[in-house]
Amino acid sequence: MTTRAFIGRPTASPREAADWSRRRILANNLRSVVGRAYPRVRGMAREPSWLFFEILLPFLTTSSFVFVYRALQAPQEYVGFVVLGGAMTAFWLNVVWMMAAQLYWEKDQGNLELYFAAPMDVMSVLFGMAIGGLVMSATRAAVVLVVASLVYGVQFSVDQWGLLVTVFVLALAAMYGLGMVLASLFLMWGREAWHLTHVLAEPVYFVSGLNFPVAALGRLGALALATIPLATGLDAMRQLAFAGHLGPAPFLPPLAEAGILVAMTGIFLVLARFMLRALERRARQEGRLTVRWR
Amino acid sequence: MSGSITAPAIDARGIRRVYSAKPAPITALAGVDLEVQPGELFGLLGPNGAGKTTLIKILTTLLLPSAGTARVFGFDIEHETKQIRRIMNMVAGGEQSGYGILTVREQLWMFSQFYGLATREGWTRVDELIDAVGLDEQRLQRVSSLSTGQRQKMNFARGLLNDPWILFLDEPTLGLDVSAARSVRELVVGWKAAVPGRTVLLTTHYMAEADELCERIAIVDRGRVLAIGTPAELKQRVQRESIFRIELDRLVGGPTALARLPGVVSATAATAAQAGGTTGDPRQTVEVNLVLVEDAALGGVVGALGGLGARILALRKSEPTLEEVFVELVGRGFDDSEETAAHALHPSEAEPDHDREHQEVG
């Protein structure tokens, strides 16, 4: 049986087939990003049940805090704080649960060894996962933000739209950068990393100031701003989305927080790359990560 | 010269692989030397736990050897991993890779992006391969709904997306029914024959599969290569005499009349068949097992049968099987060795209970 497909596009020699230009390598990596993002984006349309779990349930959680503030007769801006926090929670949840556990799942499915055996850089796969997750979470965040704003009459007061959008993008970059680091950690540490995430979930929510300005936490809040991208991004966005803020004076102006987010993004990406390389080295040495029974 | 088609497709020297395990390290490969030429369909035949998969993991750059060196088309498996990954692909039996939520077409396209195909080229290639492997009707079906055989055809198509120079197939027909296994074997042969120089390294523990597909075979057991050769050469090792089964319409004097002939080691009666079958024809035939010193002695036997007035109805040469070769080399059967390997060699059996959540036979 000889078909055209079996003839394919043969090369003259293995050397020619293996000799890739830098441009080809870059193109391969970029295509791999798109390729890995694809199943997540397609999955959104294939399983509409996520609308219930990913949008309605978080909306209810956000609503409960809105009613607490209303019962306390807090200023209307506080409702806005909660809604913004609810929207950003979508991204955070996606990072710490989906993104962080993804390589671990890929190993169980047998995908990981195919990724390592393919010619692209595995960082592309992580980028693809991040972008796919980001698209999914952005939909959820947008729905929570729009619906909650309309239902609860949130009034935004934005002076610097450009900076607000920049901070939002930087916050996402830093969060997903952290997700890429966590993905390698999860794969290396397995169940222990999973337990750690469980243990840290509520404390992180608390110190990130999802439902109140983080400055209210004093030094703990400052520490959160310096280490948790969710806290940094949220604090900057609150300052920018509700100009003439209420509550305790913020530690840092939005521009400085944008700088912290840039630094976090850089550090997380470098760390993720370093960890992936360490992971591959360990996988090849010990056979524990790509060989499923190991 | 790296990457030359004149370099061996696989050149492995002294490959050892030891896994750390409790209570004692496990030696999966104990010094394997192997040379596979470009264009060969080479088989690694051995029971479970023989070290076949470990060798494939090393050659596909997923695992480092504890000692020894290996090159794939001249590229070093330790330092030239990127080059090797650009010219090879791999498919394993029972592979569940990809995402069930995607259709067959989408899944293959996703992998085409990992292998560096341009977007549009990827879709074209995927469609070609879907047709070639006979999955046209499943093209838009979700991967999660495929049968085992369809899934393996899809995996095979994935393995061909990048037109590899060398394809590693690890038990590719594992768990498939007879028909699906035959389809996969035909695909392997068809793909390899389509372009000269393409090389296939196939591991299997199915003797018939190795016999049917492979131009050369290495029999491996407990991390060692015990013998390498063509199927015929390997069988020759255990066939010291020529064995024929001959069916006659009659034989005056019985098989002992043949046993005295020159070059005949023994002649014994097999079963007596009824030529008329169920038609009620009472004619009886005689089947004789003949063991000859060499094939040339058959001429004398045929001549003698003519003299005895016997007519030859059928003549068949008996060949040893690869299983007999294995028994000869190892001193036990394949089934015995699977049992032994599963208990003595398989790392999953050697690891402590708390690690079992990750264990799945690979």
Tell which of B296, B318, B340 closes a domain: B318
In a domain? residue A11: no
Q: For A217, which DSSP code?
A: G
Dihedral pair phi/psi, residue B273, rounded to 5°: -105, 160
Q: Side chain identity at B267, as an amino acid letter?
A: A
My answer on whether B97 and B132 are in the same domain is: yes
My answer on whether B58 and B125 are in the same domain is: yes
CATH of the domain at B253: 3.30.70
Residue B350 has pLDDT above 50, yes or no: no
Q: What is the predicted pLDDT for the residue at B324? A: 81
Q: Is A50 on the interface with B (CB under 8 A)?
A: no
CA distance A282 to chain B (A): 9
CA distance B57 to chain A (A): 8
Tell which of B237, B267, B288 closes a domain: B237
Helix residue ranges per DSSP H, A74-110:
76-93, 100-109
Residues A107-120: tens digit of each pLDDT:
888 899 999 999 99
Q: From the list A118, A287, A292, which residue is nearest B63 (CB)?
A: A287
Cis amide bond preceding B23, omega within 30: yes
Name chain B contacts of A3, Cβ cutoff 8 Å: 128, 131-132, 190, 194
For residue B108, count other CB atoms closer than 10 A to its CB: 28
Contact A225, A252 (CB under 8 A): yes
Dihedral pair phi/psi, residue B88, rounded to 5°: -130, 170
In a domain? residue A293: no
Dihedral pair phi/psi, residue B259, rounded to 5°: -65, -25
Dihedral pair phi/psi, residue A243, rounded to 5°: -60, 145
Is B327 buried (19+), middle (13-18) or exposed (0-12) by CB count in 10 A? middle
Q: How far from A253 is each of A209, A219, A228, A236, A256, CA to CA, in Å?
A: 16, 16, 17, 7, 6
In a domain? residue B259: yes
Answer whether A19 sits within 8 Å of B3, measured CB to CB. yes
Q: Is A151 on the interface with B (CB under 8 A)?
A: no
- Choose the mutation target among B358, B360, B361 for the interface with A, i.e. most A CBs under 10 Å: B358
SS (H, E, C) chain B: CCCCCCCCCEEEEEEEEEECCCCCCEEEEEEEEEEECCCCEEEEECCCCCCHHHHHHHHCCCCCCCEEEEEECCEECCCCHHHHHHHEEEEECCCCCCCCCCEHHHHHHHHHHHCCCCHHHHHHHHHHHHHHCCCHHHCCCEHHHCCHHHHHHHHHHHHHCCCCCEEEEECCCCCCCHHHHHHHHHHHHHHHHHCCCCEEEEEECCHHHHHHHCCEEEEEECCEEEEEECHHHHHHHHCCCEEEEEEECCCCCCCHHHHCCCCEEEEEEEEEEECCHHHCCCCEEEEEEEEECCHHHHHHHHHHHHHCCCCEEEEEEECCCHHHHHHHHHCCCHHHHHHHHHHHCCHHHHCCHHHHHHCCCC
Least Cα distance to B107 among B148, B149, B58, B157 occurs for B157
What are residue B16's DSSP bridge partners? B30, B67
Global pTM? 0.82
My answer on whether B117 and B94 are in the same domain is: yes
In a domain? residue B109: yes
In a domain? residue B355: no
**Tokens at B361, concatenated:** 């036979």
Contact A149, A241 (CB under 8 A): no
Q: From the list B86, B101, B358, which residue is nearest A17 (CB)?
A: B86
| Rounded mean pLDDT, B77-102 | 93
What are residue B248's DSSP bridge partners? B286, B312
In a domain? residue A17: no
Cα–Cα distance for residue pair B20/A35, rounded to 1 Å? 36
Tell which of B237, B253, B277 closes a domain: B237
Q: Is A1 on the interface with B (CB under 8 A)?
A: yes
Name chain B contacts of A283, Cβ cutoff 8 Å: 62-63
In a domain? residue A1: no
**Torsion on CA atoms A180, A186, A192, A197, rounded to nearest 10:** 40
In a domain? residue B361: no
Q: Beta strand pairing status for B88-92 and B166-170?
A: parallel
In a domain? residue B168: yes
My answer on whether B171 and B102 are in the same domain is: yes
Total of domains in chain A: 1
My answer on whether B50 and B167 are in the same domain is: yes
Q: What is the predicted pLDDT for the residue at B278? A: 46
Buried b (16+ CB within 10 A) or exposed e, A124-143: bbbbbbbbbbbebbebbbeb
Confidence band (pLDDT; 50, 70, 90) for B341?
very low
CA dihedral sign of residues B294, B296, B300, B302: positive
My answer on whether B78 and B102 are in the same domain is: yes
**Tokens at B36, concatenated:** 């596979």
Cα–Cα distance for residue pair B324/B327, rounded to 1 Å? 5
Total of domains in chain B: 2
Q: What is the predicted pLDDT for the residue at B36? A: 97
Cα–Cα distance for residue pair A24/A17, rounded to 1 Å? 12
My answer on whether B210 and B121 are in the same domain is: yes
Contact A113, B61 (CB under 8 A): no
In a domain? residue A251: yes
CA dihedral sign of residues B202, B207, B211, B217: positive
Taking the CA of residue B281 as centre, how many other CA atoms within 13 Å lie in the half-sphere pointing to its CB? 9
| Rounded mean pLDDT, B291-313 | 89
Name chain A contacts of B109, Cβ cutoff 8 Å: 35, 38
**How much is the mean pLDDT over chain B?**
84
Contact B231, B211 (CB under 8 A): yes
| Rounded mean pLDDT, B23-31 | 91
Domain span including residue B133: 10-237
In a domain? residue B339: no
My answer on whether B218 and B307 are in the same domain is: no
Residue B358 has pLDDT above 50, yes or no: no
Q: What is the predicted pLDDT for the residue at A135? A: 87
Cα–Cα distance for residue pair B116/B113, rounded to 1 Å? 5
In a domain? residue A14: no
My answer on whether B140 and B259 are in the same domain is: no
In a domain? residue B362: no
Q: What is the predicted pLDDT for the residue at B51? A: 92
In a domain? residue B305: yes
Q: Is A45 on the interface with B (CB under 8 A)?
A: no
Answer whether A35 sits within 8 Å of B111, measured CB to CB. yes
Residues B103-158: tens digit of each pLDDT:
999 999 999 999 999 999 999 999 999 999 999 999 999 999 999 999 999 999 99
Cα–Cα distance for residue pair A234/A230, rounded to 1 Å? 6
Dihedral pair phi/psi, residue B11, rounded to 5°: -135, 95
Dihedral pair phi/psi, residue B287, rounded to 5°: -110, 135
In a domain? residue A16: no
Q: From the list B74, B116, B128, which residue is nearest A4 (CB)?
A: B128
Q: Beta strand pairing status for B75-76 and B67-72?
A: antiparallel
Contact B216, B263 (CB under 8 A): no
My answer on whether B138 and B264 are in the same domain is: no
Position with higher pLDDT, A137 vs B338? A137
Q: What is the predicted pLDDT for the residue at B142? A: 95
Position with higher pLDDT, B333 vs B33? B33
My answer on whether B195 and B179 are in the same domain is: yes
**Tokens at B328, concatenated:** 């000869």
Domain span including residue A185: 22-286
My answer on whether B132 and B276 are in the same domain is: no
Residue B359 has pLDDT above 70, yes or no: no
Answer whether A7 sits within 8 Å of B195, measured CB to CB. yes
- Reduced to 3 states (helix: H, G, I; strand: E, B; else coil), residue A245 is coil
Q: What is the predicted pLDDT for the residue at A137? A: 84
Q: Which residues of chain A fall short of a pLDDT of 50?
A: 293-294
What is the layout of strands, in order, in the sheet containing B41-45?
B88-92, B166-170, B199-204, B41-45, B216-221, B224-229
In a domain? residue A294: no
Contact A163, A77 (CB under 8 A): no
Residue B279 has pLDDT above 50, yes or no: no
ipTM computed for the complex: 0.86
Q: What is the predicted pLDDT for the residue at B361? A: 24
Contact B289, B262 (CB under 8 A): no
**Tokens at A181, concatenated:** 């680091």
Contact B202, B44 (CB under 8 A): yes
Contact A154, A79 (CB under 8 A): yes
Q: What is the predicted pLDDT for the residue at B277? A: 46
Q: Side chain identity at B327, as an amino acid letter?
A: V
